[in-house]
Amino acid sequence: MSLIHIENLTVWAGQTELLAPMSLTLEKGQRLTILGQTGSGKSLLAQAIMGNLPSSLRTEGKVTLFGDEVNAKQRQRFWGHRISMLPQEPWNSLDPLMGAQPQLQETYQLVAGQSAGEARQSADYTLALQGLSDSGHKRVDQLSGGMAQRVAIACAMAGGASVLLADEPTKGLDVSRRDQVVEQLLTQSEQGTLITITHDVAVARKIGGHMMVIKAGELVEEGDAEQILKAPQHAFTQALIEADPVNWPAPEPSTQTDKRLLDVEDLTIGYGTSALTKHLSFTLDEGEVVGVVGDSGCGKSTLGDTLLGVQQPLGGRIKRQRQAAVQQWQKLYQDPTAAVSRAVSLRTLLEDTIKLHNIDRARIAPLMQQLGLTDALLNRNSEGVSGGELQRFCMLRVLLLDPVFLFADEPTSRLDPVTQRDVSKLLVDVAKQNGCAVMLVSHDPDLIAKRCDRVINLNH
Amino acid sequence: MSISLTTTQKSGAALLLLLIVYAVFGPMLQEGDAATQNLSHIMTAPNSEFWLGTDHFGRNMWIRLADALQLSLMMAGLCVLTSAIIGVSAGVLAATRGRWLDRGLDAIVTMILALPGLVLVLIFAAIVPGSFWMLYVAISLIQWIEYFRVSRAITQRLTHSPEVQSSKLMGFGQWYIFRRHYWPAIAPQLFTIAAFGAANAILMMASLGFVYVGIQPPLAELGLMIVEHFPYYSDAPWLLAQPLILLALVVLACQLMGRGRTQ
């Protein structure tokens, strides 16, 4: 008896086909990896299997779970204890008012059916296993993205489901945590089956098993993961694999100016009374590209806020060696949609910036061309463009201000690999051309190695 | 910002528009005014001369009701506008201008909230009985709090958000940040508060009229009319029903407008 058997499953929005017919069969102990870019419809497939698509979408085809053919409604019976889904953006799927531990305990109690005492023990044990013993009382907004991800994984696994669907389980995690999560998923899959959806080639390589490559709702390649990753047949798969940072060309050494921009001595950063990182000393030259790495929650973003003067350091000194206007110290955000007002069009926002700082309009067109932005794009607001486009728009605004220092806080972690490669290359190239120093934060050491002159590690 | 209304909201808006048209243009359709007494025509039932009949002093009810409605709508409009402006400004300032202002405003709000709203309005009304402006001050004093609390909560959430931080780093001033970040987040909430606030203002003024501390005779006011017509409920039930129905219709219109999309 196969755990999952799907025949010609399609997803429709009205008369538009969002997902072309997909068929698959998974036995106990088998793994399936679905690889594709953001917006390719791979999450739709997961939701269609799970049976939690939005009501505006319609599915066709046969879904057989645990030997019974079931419709979307009947599948709800299986949720939690037989089939479980690990959603994207874990901070949205956790209760914002509840601590991590009580939430997990509740799952053990209500879904797995343990007694209150057992559930508490299981929850404590799992949190300890995830390295979260000290954070059990924290709410989602007090956890870092990576920590929230781990709590969500623990909750999804608590019910003991034998079929686990993981939708981008490693998005925003640093490499060591990413590998931990993958290990955990693999262990889980031994007792049942695992379907992983990812855009990360490295994750796909680790999980292996059967692989489906999806592009714009169409299946472009299917087969053994190892085989596909070694010798991709389809041009799209080849592009995806090439876009993996491991396969990027090595960086060109930047032209050192040896003009000092920043001196940081014995800096301690943190919030309130709790220090995140202590005794940090480094220097930064003009036009230099420096990578910042460290585990999630170690204060990478806080370092940026402190250097930019948004937040006060708890100790130590930051000395700006160059007199530059306030707006020349800039930041790029991890989530561009959260960093741009959605109330007005991008053009209005750009105009606001131009008027405020009397920017020469002649500079805009060439820069937009370099960033690959079209004029028509500016007529939409931030919700009407893709993440990659919006991040490039943010870069446009920032670069028009002639920055001397740019703190890029995971600027590409929410983008798919091809866009990630292009955007990060653009960022580094344009910054170097303009003599702007960049501190690039990333959880991906390969990306840092291929883009930066040197690295600051916050882990010690 | 695009405004799309639900069917419920549209019917509320239509009803309100109808009432406004009556309040403004109604008195022009009949001769006479709201105060002239005609003791030979008391408590006439509605007929072709007096469309809604006359009251116990023979005054034309069609004109009196329109006048009363005008007064109620004016009070509602003024109170909503004043309390929204004060509430939103105070809320945004409290969230952005340091701890002490926030604490101070919070203390004032807590004090006002500790008193039942109607009692506070009664105290004010008792200071200068029958004054429209005193009622306006008193009702606004209570109603700005809701706007304050909503705008403060929204602004507090946004002050540390990436979008505001980004605008600050780019050198934009406070007014710009208000216009582009705070206001677009606050504005959609205001409409609902304003609709319910208007209904409350109208009800409060009527309640005061009903206990004789609001608008004084011979001015026409819905609450006052209800209590004036009360003794004649068996002789002329339609007389008592008219201000009651009108009051219910105005409040219904406001409440329907306030019904947002439920998701």
- Does A308 touch chain B if contact means CB atoms closer than 8 Å? yes
What is the Cα–Cα distance from A333 to A352, expressed in whole angstroms? 20
pLDDT tens readout for residues A425-435: 888 888 888 88
What pLDDT does B2 receive? Answer: 45
pLDDT in tens, chain B (263 residues): 445 678 888 888 899 899 898 888 888 877 777 777 777 777 777 777 777 778 877 788 888 888 889 888 999 999 999 999 999 999 999 988 878 998 999 999 998 888 888 888 888 888 887 788 888 998 898 999 999 999 999 999 888 888 898 898 888 888 999 999 999 889 888 888 888 888 888 888 888 888 887 777 777 888 888 888 888 888 888 888 888 999 999 899 888 888 765 43
- What is the bridge-based pairing of β-strands A31-36 and A210-215? parallel
> Which of A448, A432, A142, A460 lies closest to A287 in space, CA to CA?
A432
What pLDDT does B80 receive? Answer: 93
For residue A341, give how far its alpha carbon lies from the nearest alpha carbon of chain B (Å). 6
Q: May I ask the CATH architecture of the domain B7-26+57-258?
A: Orthogonal Bundle (1.10)
What is the Cα–Cα distance from A447 to A424, expressed in whole angstroms? 9
What pLDDT does A201 receive? Answer: 84
Whether A327 contacts A281, CB under 8 Å = no
Best-predicted range by mean pLDDT among A152-156, A238-242, A406-410? A406-410
Give A326's contacts in chain B (Cβ within 8 Å). 169, 171
Note whether B166 contacts A325, CB cutoff 8 Å.
no
Q: Tell me the whole-structure pTM to 2 decimals.
A: 0.71
Whether B195 contacts B255, CB under 8 Å = yes
What is the Cα–Cα distance from A428 to A452, expressed in whole angstroms? 8
What pLDDT does A247 receive? Answer: 78
Supply B190's token pair.
């205001």
Whether A146 contacts A296, CB under 8 Å = yes
**Domain spans in chain B, listed from the N-terminal domain onward:** 7-26+57-258
Substitution target in B3, B158, B169, B174 with the highest count of A β-carbons within 10 Å is B169
Give A341's contacts in chain B (Cβ within 8 Å). 163, 167, 180-181, 184
What is the Cα–Cα distance from B75 to B131, expressed in whole angstroms? 12
Calculate what percentage of chain A has a pLDDT beyond 90.
2
- Please report how many Cα atoms fall inside a 13 Å half-sphere around the Cα of residue B45, on the Cβ side: 4
Note the CATH number of domain A4-246. Answer: 3.40.50.300
Note whether A326 contacts B169, CB cutoff 8 Å.
yes
pLDDT tens readout for residues A160-170: 888 888 888 87
What pLDDT does B90 receive? Answer: 93
What is the DSSP secondary structure assignment for residue A78, as one 8-state letter? G
Is it true that A4-246 and A260-457 share their CATH fold? Answer: yes
Angle at A15 between CA A10 and CA A21, to 5 degrees: 15
What is the DSSP secondary structure assignment for residue A453, as one 8-state letter? S
Please give the helix or strand (H or E) that residue A361 lies within, else none: none
Give the Å distances, CA to CA, from B222 to B51, B127, B255: 18, 22, 18
Give B161's contacts in chain A (Cβ within 8 Å). 338
Supply A312's token pair.
């006060």
pLDDT tens readout for residues A327-380: 888 999 888 888 888 888 889 999 999 999 888 888 888 888 888 888 888 888
**Domain spans in chain A, listed from the N-terminal domain onward:** 4-246, 260-457
What is the Cα–Cα distance from A163 to A193, expressed in whole angstroms? 5
C-alpha dihedral sign at B91, B92, B98, B101: negative
Supply B80's token pair.
């909503």
pLDDT at A287 over 60: yes
pLDDT at A23 over 60: yes
- Does B159 touch chain A if contact means CB atoms closer than 8 Å? no
* CATH class (in words) of the domain with range A260-457: alpha beta
Among A339, A343, A401, the residue with its CB nearest the CB of B162 is: A339
DSSP string across chain B: ------HHHHHHHHHHHHHHHHHHHGGGGSSS-SS---GGGTTPPS-SSSTT-B-TT--BHHHHHHHHHHHHHHHHHHHHHHHHHHHHHHHHHHHHSHHHHHHHHHHHHHHHHHS-HHHHHHHHHHHSTT-HHHHHHHHHHHHHHHHHHHHHHHHHHHHTSHHHHHHHHTT--HHHHIIIIIHHHHHHHHHHHHHHHHHHHHHHHHHHHHTTSSSPTTS--HHHHHHHHGGGTTT-HHHHHHHHHHHHHHHHHHHHHH-----
- Which residue do the tokens 């997902």 mark? A19
What is the Cα–Cα distance from B12 to A172, expressed in whole angstroms? 47
Letter string b/e over residues A208-233, b meaning 16 or more CB atoms within 10 A of that residue's CB: ebbbbbbbebbbbbbeebeebbeebe
Supply B227's token pair.
């209590």
- Tell me whether residue A67 is exposed, middle or buried, using C-beta atoms within 10 angstroms of its C-beta: 0 to 12, 13 to 18, 19 or more: exposed
- Does A137 touch chain B if contact means CB atoms closer than 8 Å? no
pLDDT tens readout for residues A382-396: 877 777 788 889 989
Whether A388 contacts A423, CB under 8 Å = yes
**Average pLDDT over every residue of A87-94:** 75
- Does A333 touch chain B if contact means CB atoms closer than 8 Å? yes
- How big is chain A by its Cα radius of gyration, in Å? 24
